[in-house]
Amino acid sequence: MKLDEIAKLAGVSCTTVSYVVNGKAKQYRVSDSTIKKVEALIKQYDFKPNAMAASLRVGKSKTIGLIIPDFENISYAKIANNLENHLREIGYQLLISCSNDKVKNEEDCVKHLLQRQIDALVVSSALPYNTDFYQHTNIPVIGFDRQILSPNVVNLLTDDEGDAYRLSHELFKQAKQQRILFFGALPELPISQAREKGFRQALGGKNIAATYLYTDNFHKNHAATAFSRWLDQNELPTSIFTTSFTLLEGVLLVLLQRQGHIPPQLMIATFGHFEMLELLENAVICSVQDYDKISRSLLNLALNALSKKHKNTVNTTPLMRKIVKYHC
């Protein structure tokens, strides 16, 4: 049963039925007798209005968009899963898209999500920090993991420099530190610069030889290619520090291919975490996000922005990661 069929049976216009369905009949002076007639037909034929159409009529789709740079990254997957669960609890749905860390892909993702009439957008951006791209959106935009400098974007504050310092400090407390490889990606990103800065601060004054290697993507295969080429020209370090778990995956893949195992003397520090790391013989130190806290913070920022009661509300205390150690 469609709305126009209900209207025909009731002998009223589609607009009048719409008023009754949306609870606006009294506001538009629809008579009590007409309201009762329409409501009876709705009940008789179990009429269910199209949820999306109804929400768009009141200017809300009850849909949030999420753009992440990498589906393979466990951290993003866990944040997306938690965020979707929290949104579902309050009657919202989440539309997820992936940029693969490419600017053009992200711009296309935004355009497609806007066409779906999303109410707000949550994004971990591949665009430059000072991009003006998001100034042209007319919905709230929430940045996370990678901040966006734009007047209409609210960023979830994190402490990448401090987290990198704490992770490095824990690594340098371990014995036999001689040569360390710092392995990152996309050095132009503020998040990459912050993590290198924190690492350098912790390294300062220590008698440890550090080498810096960057690749052009956070994907595992890109990391494997870059590390393999580096290893062709260099000796395996005593320690390795990776700014993303996907980079560490690339490193481990190369070592397994070349040596058939992970050299147990190699000490590892990484952003990100996976429980299987405990199975390694190596000393492993991880900087781990509180995925549920992040997803709840993103939800609150989005809802506050939508309500316009707290338009520029941000988390004034940056979210800090915790340190997890194995065999240390």
58-91 per-position pLDDT tens digit: 567 899 999 999 998 889 999 999 999 999 999 9
Domain with CATH 1.10.260.40 in the chain: 3-49
pLDDT > 70 in the chain, percent:
94
Question: Confidence band (pLDDT; 50, 70, 90) for 307?
Answer: confident
Residue 314 has pLDDT above 80, yes or no: no
Interacting residues of 37 by C-beta distance below 8 A, sequence separation 6+: 10, 12
Report the distance separating Cα 94 and Cα 106, nearest Å.
17
CA atoms within 13 A on the CB side of 320: 8
- Torsions phi, psi of 152, nearest 5? -105, 15
Q: Residue range 213-236: average pLDDT?
A: 97
pLDDT mean across residues, the chain? 91
- CATH 1.10.260.40 describes domain 3-49: yes
DSSP3 helix / strand / coil % (the chain, rounded to 5): 45, 15, 40
CA distances from 102 to 67, 125, 146, 200 (A): 12, 9, 14, 28
Residue 51, pLDDT > 70, answer no
Look at residue 316 and tell me whether its pLDDT is greater than 90.
no
Mean pLDDT of 197-203: 97
**Three-class SS state of 121:** strand
Tell me which of 167 and 306 has the higher pLDDT: 167
> Given a cut of 70, is residue 240 above it in pLDDT?
yes
Give the E-state strand segments of the chain in sequence order.
Answer: 63-68, 93-98, 120-123, 141-143, 153-155, 179-185, 209-215, 239-242, 267-271, 284-288, 322-326
- Per-residue pLDDT reduced to its tens digit, 246-258: 999 999 999 999 9
DSSP 64: E
Question: pLDDT tens digits, residue range 282-299?
Answer: 999 999 999 999 999 999
**CATH 3.40.50.2300 occupies which residues in the chain?**
63-155+291-317, 160-288
Rounded mean pLDDT, 39-52: 80
- Residue 12's pLDDT is 92
Confidence at residue 46, expressed as pLDDT on a 0 to 100 scale: 85
Q: Is the pLDDT at 197 greater than 50, yes or no?
A: yes
pLDDT reported for residue 270: 98
Residues 6+ apart with CB under 8 A from 204: none
CATH number of 63-155+291-317: 3.40.50.2300
Kindly report, residue by residue over 88-115, the tens digit of the pLDDT.
999 999 999 999 999 999 999 999 999 9
| Whole-number pLDDT of residue 313 | 54
170-179 tens-digit pLDDT: 999 987 778 9
Q: 160-288: what fold?
A: Rossmann fold (3.40.50)
Give the pLDDT mean for 4-26: 86
Residue 248's identity, in one-letter code, is: L
